[in-house]
Chain A
Amino acid sequence: MSDPQSTHSNDTSTTHFGFKQVEKNQKASLVAEVFDSVAAKYDVMNDLMSMGVHRLWKRYTIDCAGVRPGNQVLDIAGGTGDLTAKFSRLVGSTGKVTLADINLSMLKVGRDKLRDRGLVGNIDYVQADAEALPFPDNTFDVVTMAFGLRNVTEKQNALDSVYRVLKPGGRLLVLEFSKPTSEQLSKLYDMYSFHILPKMGQLVANDAESYQYLAESIRMHPDQDTLKGMFEKAGFDQCDYQNLTGGIVALHRGFKF
């Protein structure tokens, strides 16, 4: 199965990296460079870029996750552990949360942050590729992926992999930037992300390029209905999505029965 965003030309498999076309085997390392660069300022930049609204998007995701005491939760691309922190308290001592991220820098920032908050005991940290999750079949009750799927080279492989590790009855929630539902908002959003965002990145994180990539990668990410179709292709049932903030972000949900 292949990512609908990737292309094949002259027998060379390529995919997008922002607006650029790169070889598929290069994308992971290019994305890694971006996140190595922004890891230290990731939380500050998220607050600044979204004016704090990303916290509400994540909170809504947690509300929809339906996590219960004793659950096994996998937070893929968990980065600095925003979702994991809350899940850790919700599953309690009888449950477990696994924070997985392909990027070691992000994982270290997340681990340090959570340990500083006293969240230890029921959290595992795993450096893992979402396309080939290193867990047995039917392991997790809930899998979440917040702002991570668009950086994966083969998105369909990642969804297949999540489907495999979910227990029957389990659910996947993907929170990701998407397509604004109104024309006006879309224009405003374009202006913000291509003109203001890179400048903010330059000022705060001294890295305009990474934030230029962020804006470009959002535009290259599948829209709401395409992603829903990819969920269904992976085998998920009762797939739906909820647009948040006019479709700037969408929360997709699917169940494995």
Chain B
Amino acid sequence: MPSSALFSAAIEQAINRLLSLDSDSKARLSRLNGMRLYLFIDPLPNAICLVFSTQVDVLTEYDDHSDVVAKLDDKSCCIQTRVSTLPSLKDTNQLTRLIQQGELTVDGALSVAQQVSGLFQHLDIDIEEIIATNTTDVFAHSLVSAAKTLSEKARTGSEMVSRVLGNALVEEKQLAAHRLAVMHFSDNVNALRDDTARLEARLNHLESTRSKS
């Protein structure tokens, strides 16, 4: 049994579930009706194709990138990237840099990719309301408040542990160098590199002068 079918089914289920949690996503989804977005994500073995209609259908694409690009029309777009690059795609200001660096390839209608990005970026999910539909308002509010408090405590706790551990390693046990010491060392390395480069250039110059005479 092809595991790719299981993978695409799981993605499809997750996307549609996520969209169903925001009632405004229907309007954004309707603007994408009839459009297709092909995603080649290294190292996934097969590409996936998102087909937009009243819902998002996820298909496994068995054609090569060049074959997919050849069949693109004005309602479809193909993106080729790496898993590690995906988080950077959130920041639209980074796109040009990623394309120039070869981390991202976009073929076809760019507007499709932009609209798909908008579909997910504008998701506004009210978790408290979702919990309240299956429980009670009071319970939902208490649960979400408790979760927020817990998350805040975890964040401050993590910051404190990191600070204490840093102090212990740098100041008390002196197992790691201080940040300023590292910066100073880096500056020295840079200065040494520059000196070496200058020396090399000078030697080259002397060598060329000598060979001419």
Contacts and interface: CB of A to CB of B under 8 A. Distances in A.
B21 interface: no
Contacts of B61: 63
A57 B1 contact: yes
A88 B57 CA distance: 11
A55 B53 CA distance: 20
Nearest to B56: A89
Interface in B1-26: 1-2, 4-6, 8-9
B54 A59 contact: no
Interface in A39-92: 53, 55-57, 59-60, 62-64, 68-69, 86, 89-90, 92
B1 A90 contact: no
A73 to B, nearest CB: 14
A63 B60 contact: yes
B59 A63 contact: yes
B139 interface: no
A86 B57 contact: yes
Interface in A228-253: 244-245
Given A63-B59, A89-B55, A245 B9 contact: no
B75 interface: yes
A57 B1 CA distance: 7
Given A53-B1, A56-B2, A63 B62 contact: yes
A118 interface: yes
A244 B9 contact: no
Contacts of A55: 9
B51 interface: yes
Given A62-B59, A63-B60, A93 B5 contact: no
A63 B51 contact: no
Given A69-B75, A92-B34, A63 B53 contact: no
A172 to B, nearest CB: 17
A86 B16 CA distance: 14
Interface string B40-75: 000000000001011101011110000000010001
Nearest to A242: B2
Interface size class of A (residues with CB under 8 A): 10 to 19
A56 B34 contact: no
Given A69-B75, A90-B57, A92-B53, A63 B34 contact: no
Contact of B6 (A56, A64, A118): A56
A86 B51 CA distance: 10
Contacts of A245: 1
A69 B34 CA distance: 7
Contacts of A118: 54
Contacts of B51: 89-90
A60 B3 CA distance: 10
Contacts of A57: 1, 5
Contacts of B2: 56, 60, 244
Contacts of A60: 1-2, 4-5, 60
Contacts of B71: 68
Nearest to B75: A69
A154 to B, nearest CB: 30
B202 to A, nearest CB: 65
Contact of B4 (A62, A63, A93): A63
Q: What 5 A-B pairs are tightest by C-beta distance, nearest first?
A: A89-B53, A56-B5, A59-B5, A245-B1, A63-B60
23 contacts: A56-B1, A56-B2, A56-B5, A56-B6, A56-B9, A57-B1, A57-B5, A59-B5, A60-B2, A62-B59, A63-B4, A63-B5, A63-B8, A63-B59, A63-B60, A63-B62, A64-B62, A69-B34, A69-B36, A89-B51, A89-B57, A90-B51, A245-B1
Interface of B: 1-2, 4-6, 8-9, 33-34, 36, 51, 53-55, 57, 59-62, 71, 75
Given A69-B36, A89-B53, 15 more contacts: A53-B1, A56-B5, A56-B9, A59-B5, A59-B9, A62-B59, A63-B61, A63-B62, A68-B71, A69-B75, A89-B54, A89-B55, A90-B57, A118-B54, A244-B2
